[in-house]
Amino acid sequence: MISIGLIGLGAMGAGMAKNLAKAGFLAGVYNRTACKAQSLADELGVVAFDTPSALAATCDVIFMCVSRDEDVLEMVTAVAQTVKSGAVVVDMSTVSSSTAQQAAAILAEKQAQFLDAPVSGGVEGAKKGTLAMMVGGSNEALEKIRPILAAIAARILHMGPVGSGQATKAVNQIMAAGINQAVTEALAFGKAQGLPMKKVIEVVSGGAAGNWFLEHRGPTMMQNTFAPGFKLALHHKDLEICRKMAENADISIPLAEMTLLNYAQLMEQGFGDEDISALYRLKMPHKLS
Amino acid sequence: MISIGLIGLGAMGAGMAKNLAKAGFLAGVYNRTACKAQSLADELGVVAFDTPSALAATCDVIFMCVSRDEDVLEMVTAVAQTVKSGAVVVDMSTVSSSTAQQAAAILAEKQAQFLDAPVSGGVEGAKKGTLAMMVGGSNEALEKIRPILAAIAARILHMGPVGSGQATKAVNQIMAAGINQAVTEALAFGKAQGLPMKKVIEVVSGGAAGNWFLEHRGPTMMQNTFAPGFKLALHHKDLEICRKMAENADISIPLAEMTLLNYAQLMEQGFGDEDISALYRLKMPHKLS
């Protein structure tokens, strides 16, 4: 039987670990903060490994879900020390395409395969197993583990070679930034008109301007509640990656640039750990705030 | 039995007339271009009235679906000449809240009621009867005709007094502008990355950046096809209404302002009759266009 491990138990990783365990797939977990790993391992009846290398030594499929490019490379380097030949490492973090390519090169030296497989759908999607997953790397490796991925994600698409999962995620993050701008601008306008905003959200959701963010974050935004969800500082980090990719491709992304400025301002004011919908803080009508 | 008429047989109005006729509700239609009215009336087995006044003389519920503020006031003035006491006039055009209030005042003199009931959901929604409808005016008048509206719209919400339907529609149009910006910016970025865009649209649609516009206009945009849908010049007109309302409320709508500039540029280039997704023309990567 295939043995499966997961590295990184943040809000997203923990949700995915639970769904993998529920489907009977999970052997063990690793987390930098050990107590978090131990407590989740106890809950799920799996092993809490002391190091990424210990996890890699026994697992055939290794999932990773961390935050930053340097974390991915650090974990992949540790995994590569003990990784089995033929193992598949699936990184679900959001990082740059070039980091994905570096990770793949490190693992290729040990005859292990790498898939960049970032996800979208928020903490809700991670909990419910309804994430959308965009995969770069060998199609053969993807097909081998697709039944396992189905425990985590409702849509799994192969986008091309290593790095193209991350490039697709960048499209997603740029679009999410623009939609955040669109929804906060329009709801602030509605609030200024004195409209019943709960009904506004309901009716607009049903039309051509309907979107996931409005339905899921509109109601909390209107209560001035900004619990994550998706942390603003993380989206800021993702958009910095997107900015570099856009510069390299000689294409302008003005809404994403505007969002970077707005997020930086909010982070300075201490709102970096709030949901990205806290962008509304900068837009709410002054008369009413 | 209640007799129902409809004034204005553009892309939206014609779709709604068909659904009203299918449900057995429609008595007759009027259109400024008479041959269009005659041809649809023949198809649906209803009367083609020669004037709005002739229609109003025989109908208890009068629907209107025209384009501009001055058209609404002209039609309402004509209708008021013959309108029955107790009749309900339902205007589904997108105009300003103040035009709705003027129309209501004109009809109130003849003991007729006015509802502003703009819709969202595009030509597709009008054809399928799945529009979202935002209604301002007397709740009692709305409840009286709700069973009739159900032939046109899947969601029908009472937003408040006369004018609040239009204010809600303005929220919708501002959000639609921002989403158009978000989707075109992100897809142009993805195109510049050389990604398989059909798959990108599929996977992004399933995540937290998912939205109606991406699902319905993303695929055609990627084929450089911009058939309406919703004409760019009409959205430009709507956003000019929104701009005035925003100025009056002392609130800024930068994405809508950016969109007004972009649309004006496209209209100058002769693209005003294309779908609003033609905004992509200004964003497509130069290397590939």
Q: What is the DSSP string of chain B?
A: ---EEEE--SHHHHHHHHHHHHTT-EEEEE-SSHHHHHHHHHHHT-EE-SSHHHHHHH-SEEEE--SSHHHHHHHHHHHHTTPPTT-EEEE-S---HHHHHHHHHHHHTTT-EEEE--EESHHHHHHHT-EEEEEES-HHHHHHHHHHHTTTEEEEEEEESTTHHHHHHHHHHHHHHHHHHHHHHHHHHHHHTT--HHHHHHHHHTSTT-BHHHHHHHHHHHTT----SSBHHHHHHHHHHHHHHHHHHT---HHHHHHHHHHHHHHHTT-TTSBGGGGGGGTS-TTT-
Contacts of A171 in chain B (CB under 8 A): 186-187, 189-190, 193, 195, 200, 204
**Mean pLDDT, residues A5-9:** 98
Asked if B65 and B153 sit in the same domain, the reply is yes
pLDDT, tens digit, 9 for 90 and up, residues A204-241:
999 999 999 999 999 999 999 999 989 999 999 999 99
pLDDT, tens digit, 9 for 90 and up, residues A187-214:
999 999 999 999 999 999 999 999 999 9
Q: What is the CATH number of the domain that holds B258?
A: 1.10.1040.10
What are residue A26's DSSP bridge partners? Answer: A4
Q: Decide if A112 is inside a domain.
A: yes
Interface contacts (A, B; CB < 8 Å) = 262
At position B231, the amino acid (one-letter code) is K
Q: Decide if B288 is inside a domain.
A: no
Asked if A133 and A258 sit in the same domain, the reply is no
- Active-site positions of A read 169
Overall number of domains in chain B: 2
Asked if A156 and A188 sit in the same domain, the reply is no
Q: ipTM value, please give it.
A: 0.91
Instruction: Give the best residue of A179, A260, A262 to mutate against chain B (max B CB count within 10 A).
Output: A179
Asked if A176 and A99 sit in the same domain, the reply is no
Asked if A146 and A242 sit in the same domain, the reply is no
pLDDT, tens digit, 9 for 90 and up, residues B40-54:
999 999 999 999 999
Asked if A114 and A186 sit in the same domain, the reply is no
Which pLDDT band holds residue A285 (cuts at 50, 70, 90)? Answer: confident
Asked if B138 and B79 sit in the same domain, the reply is yes
Domain boundary residue, one of A131, A160, A189 = A160
Q: Decide if A106 is inside a domain.
A: yes
Q: Decide if B88 is inside a domain.
A: yes
Contacts of A285 in chain B (CB under 8 A): 249-251
Domain boundary residue, one of B160, B183, B212 = B160
Asked if B139 and B211 sit in the same domain, the reply is no
Residue B289 has a pLDDT of 43
Length of chain A: 289
Asked if B22 and B153 sit in the same domain, the reply is yes
Domain boundary residue, one of A160, A190, A214 = A160
By residue range, what is the domain housing residue B175?
167-283
pLDDT tens-place values along chain B, 289 residues long:
789 999 999 989 999 999 999 999 999 999 999 999 999 999 999 999 999 999 999 999 999 999 899 999 999 999 999 999 999 999 999 999 999 999 999 999 999 999 999 999 888 899 999 999 999 999 999 999 999 999 999 999 999 999 999 999 999 999 999 999 999 999 999 999 999 999 999 999 988 999 999 999 999 999 999 999 899 999 999 999 999 999 999 999 999 999 999 999 999 999 999 999 999 999 998 754 4
Q: Which residues of B88-110 are buried (b: 16+ CB within 10 A; e: fewer)?
A: bbbbbbbbbbebbbbbbebbeeb
Evaluated on CA atoms A229, A232, A234, A236, the torsion sign reads positive
Q: Decide if A288 is inside a domain.
A: no
Q: Decide if B28 is inside a domain.
A: yes
Asked if A193 and A86 sit in the same domain, the reply is no
Q: Decide if B90 is inside a domain.
A: yes
Q: What is the CATH number of the domain that holds B79?
A: 3.40.50.720
Residue B285 has a pLDDT of 87
- Which residue in A121, A155, A190 is closest to B171 by CB distance? A190
Asked if A23 and A123 sit in the same domain, the reply is yes
CB contact under 8 A, A175 and B192: no
Q: Decide if B289 is inside a domain.
A: no
CB contact under 8 A, B174 and A181: no
Asked if B197 and B215 sit in the same domain, the reply is yes
| Nearest-angstrom CA–CA distance, B95 and B68 | 6
- Which residue in A175, A195, A213 is closest to B164 by CB distance? A195
pLDDT, tens digit, 9 for 90 and up, residues A66-98:
989 999 999 999 999 999 999 999 999 999 999
